[in-house]
Amino acid sequence: MNGYTGTILRVNLTTGAISRQATDMKDAALYIGARGLADKIYIDEVDPKVDPLSPDNTMVFAPGPFTGTFAPSGGRYHVVTKGPLTDCIAGANSGGSWGPELHYAGYDALIIEGKASEPVYLWIKDDVVEIRKASHLWGKWVPETTDLVRGETDVDAKVACIGPAGEKQVLFAAIMNEMHRAAGRGGVGAVMGSKNLKAIAVSGTKAISVARPKEFKEAVLAGRKGIKEHPVGGAGLRAYGTDVLVNILNQIGSLPVNNFQDGYFPAADKVGGETLAANQLVRPKGCFSCVISCGRVSKVKDPKYAGEGEGPEYEAAWSMGPDCGIDNLDAVVHSNHLCNEMGMDPISFGSTLACAMELFEAGLITLKDTDGVDLSFGNVDAMVEMTRKTGLREGLGNKLALGSYRLANSYGHPELSMTVKKQEMPAYDPRGVQGIGLEYATCNRGGCHVKGYTIAVEVLGCGAKLDPHATADKPYWVKLFQDLTAAIDASGGCIFGTFGMGGDNYSAMLSALTGVTYSTEDYLKAGERIWNLEKLFNIGAGLTAKDDELPERLTKLLPIKSGPSKGEISHVPEMLPEYYKLRGWDVNGVPTKERLQELQLV
């Protein structure tokens, strides 16, 4: 068996039962691994109407075949569940080195069922699996939890854990590994908290074998060369990190400001990657098997915000920066450190805070509600204070912890929540960049950029150069990116590998590793299969075409007010019918029998 271990581990936290089952290799061939295999296992077993925070919900953690090999930037794992924020499929992806360790321990997937009666953590050391008491860890933040769990298991164990945000079921709580890497979105951390599962510690010593080693090495070297010679993958990301995007998006007038009230932020440079590199960056950091090193080890010296950790990424710098009208990078770096340490998604947090700020400025949230905190846009102290309060669910933070949709809805103004499927949209204004708006609207896990990152071709000129303001061909490109990303996610690869590698590289590596032949077409087809499987689950969960919509502010009510994209709105409604058609779905966005048969889904 090459690239796979052949074994799936199942842990039932209600009964304490630990069991193993064989990996279905037909499924492995069709769904590859990681996101694909975890989706297949989860969707086969779980009722789409399940309450995400109930013991009946399941979590599936899975590395991909690449995970633990030297496939470039190929060390990732995926966790699939139903998201409490969105009430639909939630899949979060993380780097670091936890995923490879699970693969080395001998598992293609880890299924967590039920709920423990009191806090526990899981200790997996190859074939030996224990459920251990964790009451003494409950309440502890992520760094301390990681150290303590290693102290009780193995000094070199890899630890994935939740902090207070997950324990308290903040609906956008994250699962953190190696302290600073996140399976961030959708509330996967809240699901783990609802199961009383504090951490999963892993130590693995088994081998991952390769079907055709010489061919695999050559394919890997070709991939590495592609990345090294690419300006983004080779040097740009290492020098500046993703935060360099702040100025790029601002210069095209598509940097959302003040809860998407505008698209241009004059002070943007103060929170951009150039400023981060000069002021807070200590050194770059790379995940397991990564050749890019986009990670930022960061430190703030200002005593008010002093601390060290990693990040911020572009999305986090945006959400706690310009989206809240804030231009203080020290404060943003500090709040990002807090989000990591408490285990919380900074994108959903920042955007929810921006919504709260708009509600405050409209007089709907009062000083009484905020315990005297002035929640106006631009208030740096308020942003930092609310970061902590949201992670700990204190004061108004208790309401912010439910996400902007439930927050705005509770004040009678759901239209002020900048979400799709109740998940906060990230840092690209869909009024100025049309294709990414279609990705936001159609992404199976809710408002998300990363599963169909058309910014690469609409703004960054990588591969193709599309006009961000145009709608022509965008449905084609969104589908292509969504399918390719799903296949890469399923392989265990980081999508930044696409800055230098294409479908040909990926399919060549996967074929040589597993011994299963994938053409580039097969590879994309696997991605399309995964996308459709997730869509079927969402339909079962009750989602309809109405959930593939952006807020009316963006499609109708509020053209961008200032800057280079002044006057623009999003044309997602015009692009959606063509997207459904290309996907082989009917006018309501339901996959047709023909397409499902073609994809071997029926």
Q: Show contacts with another protein in window 37-76 (CB under 8 A).
A: 68-70
Beta carbons within 8 Å of 285's beta carbon, 6+ residues apart: 180, 293, 295, 296, 297, 310
Strands, E, within 5-45: which ranges?
A: 7-12, 18-22
Nearer to another protein (CB atom), residue 88 or residue 287:
287
Task: List C-alpha distances in Å: 6 to 98, 109, 122, 280.
Answer: 19, 10, 21, 44
DSSP E strand stretches across 328-438: 419-420, 423-424
Q: Per-residue x/- mask for another protein, residues 163 to 182, rule CB under 8 A?
A: ---------------xxx--
Q: Give residues 83-102 in contact with another protein (rule: CB under 8 A).
A: 97
Least Å from the CB of residue 222 to another protein: 14
* CB of 514 vs another protein, minimal distance in Å: 13
Choice between 447 and 591, CB closer to another protein: 447
Cα–Cα separations (whole angstroms), residue 67 to 70, 229, 493, 524, 538: 8, 23, 7, 19, 28
Interaction residues for another protein, span 429-458 (CB under 8 A): 453, 455-456
20 - beta bridge partners?
A: 9
In terms of Cα–Cα distance, which of 95, 116, 109, 115 is closest to 37? Answer: 109
Binders of another protein among residues 484 to 543 (CB under 8 A) are 496, 499
Q: Which of 125, 132, 217, 595 binds another protein (CB under 8 A)?
A: 217
Q: Closest separation between CB of residue 178 and another protein, Å? A: 6
Q: Total residues contacting another protein (rule CB under 8 A)?
A: 77
Cβ-based nearer residue to another protein, 452 or 551:
452
Dist CA 472 CA 372 (whole Å): 49
Per-residue interface string for the shown chain with another protein, residues 562-581, x marking contact by CB under 8 A: -xxx----------------
H or E segment at 382?
Answer: helix 380-391
Q: Centre a 10 Å sphere on the Cβ of residue 116 and count the other Cβ atoms it contains.
A: 22
Site for another protein, residues 249 to 278, rule: CB under 8 A: 251-253, 269, 272-274
In whole angstroms, give the CA distance from residue 186 to residue 82: 8
Q: Between the CA of residue 439 and those of 54, 180, 261, 454, what are the distances in Å?
A: 30, 27, 20, 8
Query: Which one of residues 89, 149, 182, 237 is an interface residue with another protein (CB under 8 A)?
Result: 237
CA 544 to chain centre: 23
Please, what is the minimum distance in Å from the beta carbon of residue 260 to another protein?
Answer: 18
> Binders of another protein among 275-314, rule CB under 8 A?
282-295, 297, 308-310, 313-314
Q: Write the CB contacts of 553 (distance below 8 Å, at least 6 apart in sequence).
A: 260, 415, 416, 418
Q: Does 219 bind another protein (CB under 8 A)?
A: no
Q: How far apart are the C-alpha atoms of 226 and 232, rounded to whole Å?
A: 11
Binding to another protein, residues 453-492 (CB under 8 A):
453, 455-456, 459-462, 465, 467-468
Shortest distance, position 3 Cβ to another protein, whole Å: 10
> How far is residue 80's CA from residue 94's CA, in Å, rounded to a whole number?
12
Q: Out of 19, 205, 588, 592, name the contact with another protein by CB under 8 A.
A: 205
Q: Of 111 and 257, which CB lies nearer to another protein in the complex structure?
A: 257
The region of 324-332, 393-401, 526-534, 561-569 touching another protein under the rule CB under 8 A is: 561-569
